[in-house]
Structure 1
Amino acid sequence: MMELLQITTSTSVADSTMMAGASDSVSVLDLLVTGGAMVIPLGLLFIAALYILMERMRVMKKASKLPNGFHDEVKRMVSSGDVNGAMLYCAQNDTPMGRMIEKGISRIGSPLKSIEASIENVGKIELYKLEKNLSLLATIAGAAPMLGFLGTVTGMIRAFIAIAQQEGTVSPKDLSTGIYEAMITTAVGLFVGIVAYLSYNFLVAKVSKLIHQMEYTSIDFIDLLQEPQKAS
């Protein structure tokens, strides 16, 4: 009978401990609220980083869309003397490569150096459009962890001031609560910084790939213009 009572008592204690642990669990939203005012600018930076990532991915996806056989069709039209048709075909392809070739075709008849310069100028403008807001994303990647650390330092200062103002012995719970609340902003800042850093490097790789495509397109077009000279 005594053994049964001991088992029942231990089971009740275990159940009460599990219920207490469940009631003491803290959600992510509660942690963010506990982090203080510094979490607000970090949240805004996170939203800005996600917006830049989505917007740039949409732009680069559109910029990389060239119809199959684009270069061959341009070569065929230019070789046959259909300059206006080639320009119209390039204008229908709203991509950096299409606009570069359209500019080059419009300069046919000018010296080769002039054509190369006009294509290069258009390429610089297109590159500027592709790299828009990437510097801001890099800034977010560097600033978010520092803001998080700043929030931690200010939170620790407030926690120690509150502890110093208490009379008598400070309980470990009060000390640990102040410290973990201050550390929340560091965790949030690191998370935002990591997301922004990975997004920046991902977009830079995409831009680099598009630059290689633009260079190949311009070189291929210049070679096309030199073909009649080689043949002669």
Structure 2
Amino acid sequence: MSGWWNTLGTGGPIIAVLAAMSLLSLAVIVVKCLALWNCRSGAAMRDEAFGMWRSGDKHGARKAVEAGRSPADRVTAYAMQALASGFKGPALEAELQRRGNDEVAQMNRLIRLLELIAMVSPLLGLLGTVLGMIQSFQELELAEGAANASVLAGGIWQALLTTAAGLLVAIPAAVAAGLLSARIESAAQMIENSVGRLLLIDQNPPV
């Protein structure tokens, strides 16, 4: 282990930091994938519940939506409960917006951490490369021209290794953050659409 660490030179500490960031990134990706697995589910069930609400079976509609597991199901279930109890108007709309915002904020937890890892990792890799190049040229200066090309090349590849490591950490984090953000945005739109449909149906009952 010590020999491997010495081979990395000045890039060793930065490689260690990048390795820790990589493990953290992978852990966050797994946690968020599990948490967001059902965030866009239940569309067909909500359509059926809206049909029941329109036909007057409000209790059945509530029960159907309450069985869902997505943020849209939870906000819609609350909206149905509020409407059934007579809570309507701007006050209800404000409360639904607040609940929707809370759901979106919950889904967005740790996404900023992934984005930060994707942004910082290449910079750390570049820092390691710069430090390694400085060390290589210092050694060349101390050798007063006696250093051969292989020694200089060895220092350069050690320096460039940190840049490669930084990119290897940043790319999966950036891709995951983008895909998860898109999924969250889609789930947020589903919340808005579901609540909007319910309020429209409730305000325009069948004749």
In structure 2, what is the Cα distance between the partners aligned to 1:115 and 1:214?
15
For 1:130, the equivalent position in structure 2 comes to: 107
Is the counterpart of residue 186 in structure 1 residue 188 in structure 2? no
For 1:202, the equivalent position in structure 2 comes to: 179
In structure 1, what is the Cα distance between the partners aligned to 2:185 and 2:171?
21
TM-score by length of 1: 0.77
Equivalent residue letter for 2:25: A
Match of 1:163 among 140, 143, 146: 140
Deviation string, structure 1 residues 107-162 (Cα, Å, up to 9, x no partner) = 11123322222221111111001111111111111100000011111112222223
Deviation string, structure 1 residues 75-116 (Cα, Å, up to 9, x no partner) = 415642543x44343332222111111211221112332222
5+ residue gaps in structure 2? none
TM-score by length of 2: 0.86
Kindly indicate whether the alpha-carbon contact (under 8 Å) linking 2:14 and 2:125 is maintained by their aligned counterparts in 1. Answer: yes
Kindly indicate whether the alpha-carbon contact (under 8 Å) linking 2:45 and 2:65 is maintained by their aligned counterparts in 1. Answer: no
In structure 1, what is the Cα distance between the partners aligned to 2:43 and 2:88?
29
Match of 1:87 among 41, 54, 62: 62
Kindly indicate whether the alpha-carbon contact (under 8 Å) linking 2:25 and 2:117 is maintained by their aligned counterparts in 1. Answer: yes
Is the counterpart of residue 143 in structure 1 residue 120 in structure 2? yes
5+ residue gaps in structure 1? 1-29
Trace 1:1-232 onto structure 2 (pairs within 5 A): 34=8, 35-66=11-42, 68-77=44-53, 79-83=55-59, 85-108=60-83, 109-166=86-143, 169-228=146-205, 231=207
CA RMSD of aligned residues (A): 2.4
Kindly indicate whether the alpha-carbon contact (under 8 Å) linking 1:148 and 1:187 is maintained by their aligned counterparts in 2. Answer: yes
Deviation string, structure 1 residues 154-197 (Cα, Å, up to 9, x no partner) = 11222222333336611011111111111100111122112211
Task: Please say which of residues 57-66 and 125-134 is displaced more in the overlay.
Answer: 57-66
Q: CA deviation at 1:226?
A: 0.9
Kindly indicate whether the alpha-carbon contact (under 8 Å) linking 2:133 and 2:155 is maintained by their aligned counterparts in 1. Answer: yes
Kindly indicate whether the alpha-carbon contact (under 8 Å) linking 2:49 and 2:62 is maintained by their aligned counterparts in 1. Answer: no
